[in-house]
């Protein structure tokens, strides 16, 4: 009976060793690829607003509201949809005089109101003129201007294809240099889309309706991917 038990244990150990060998991970090559596409923007996002100061909070708010109303009316008159105009910030705070030298608390000298609006502009050829008009209507604060694409799916897909092609090229290069043969793809992982980045152009297109000169330039859209290849045995 003792010999039978020993034989059974030996068989079990051999089976476990075979399982361990069978589960050994395959040899692989892991590569990353990046693809980029350049595209001309077809929209702009502007952050603009009105900042006013007055002796009282009420007066500052009233003056600010009147100016903002004029700016919003002007934006609507230019054909910008309501969905592309959004209040993005409203603040009211006191202004202090800190120059007192006798140790007294700072004196409130007035109040400041700031009302910011984010505008999406889908007709870039009107950008310069719109900026000029809203400034004339009272907008005195500009916090940013960013260009983009209304629909970036085609550009992103092209960038993704470029990323995969670049990864495949690198994998083939490494396999050739190492003297091995590439096997099938085991996994593909997208590293994430890259935010469109502005790119300088030799001939930038300026707003054509007069007003503030604005160059749209070109956007660089990117994607990256990680691919794991098996090494053929």
- Average pLDDT, rounded, for the chain: 84
Query: pLDDT higher for 15 or 188?
Result: 188
At 98 the pLDDT is: 78
CATH topology of domain 43-148: Alpha-Beta Plaits (3.30.70)
- Sequence-distant contacts of 88-97: CB under 8 A, at least 24 apart: 88/47, 88/116, 88/117, 88/118, 89/49, 89/114, 89/115, 89/116, 90/114, 90/115, 90/116, 92/57, 92/60, 92/61, 94/57, 95/53
Mean pLDDT computed over 193-200: 54
Domain 23-40+152-232 maps to which CATH number in 2.60.40.10, 3.40.50.720, 3.30.110.170, 3.40.50.300? 3.30.110.170
**What pLDDT score was predicted for residue 91?**
96
The rounded percent of the chain whose pLDDT value lies above 70 is 78
The encoded tokens of residue 93 equal 């705070």
- Judged by DSSP in three states, 184 sits in strand
- Give how far Cα 62 sits from Cα of 8, 226, 233, Å: 93, 56, 78
For residue 11, pLDDT beyond 60: no
Q: Where does the chain hold its CATH 3.30.110.170 domain(s)?
A: 23-40+152-232
What is the tens place of the pLDDT at every residue in 142-155? 998 999 999 999 99
Question: What's the pLDDT score for residue 147?
Answer: 93
Start-end of CATH 3.30.70.2970 domains in the chain: 43-148
Which of 40-54, 99-113, 135-149, 212-226 has the weakest average pLDDT? 99-113
């Amino acid at each position: 009976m003792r010999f039978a038990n020993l034989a059974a244990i030996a068989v079990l150990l051999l089976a476990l060793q075979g399982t361990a060998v069978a589960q050994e991970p395959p040899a692989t090559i892991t590569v990353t690829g990046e693809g980029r596409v350049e595209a001309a923007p077809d929209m702009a996002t502007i952050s603009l607003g009105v900042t006013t100061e007055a002796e009282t909070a009420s007066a500052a708010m009233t003056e600010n509201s009147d100016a903002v109303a004029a700016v919003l009316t002007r934006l609507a008159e230019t054909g910008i949809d309501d969905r592309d105009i959004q209040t993005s910030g409203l603040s009211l705070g006191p202004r202090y005089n800190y120059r007192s030298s006798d140790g007294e608390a700072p004196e409130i000298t007035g109040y400041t109101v700031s009302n910011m609006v984010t505008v999406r502009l889908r007709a870039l050829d009107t950008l310069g003129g719109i900026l000029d008009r809203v400034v004339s209507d009272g907008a005195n604060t500009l916090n940013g201007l960013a260009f983009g694409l209304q629909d970036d799916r085609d550009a992103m897909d092209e960038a993704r294809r470029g990323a995969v092609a670049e990864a495949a090229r690198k994998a083939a290069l490494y396999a050739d240099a190492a003297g091995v043969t590439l096997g099938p793809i085991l996994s593909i992982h997208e590293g994430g889309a890259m935010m469109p980045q502005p790119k300088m152009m030799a001939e930038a297109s300026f707003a054509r309706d007069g007003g503030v000169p604005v160059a749209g330039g070109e956007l660089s859209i990117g994607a990256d991917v990680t691919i794991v290849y098996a090494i053929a045995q």
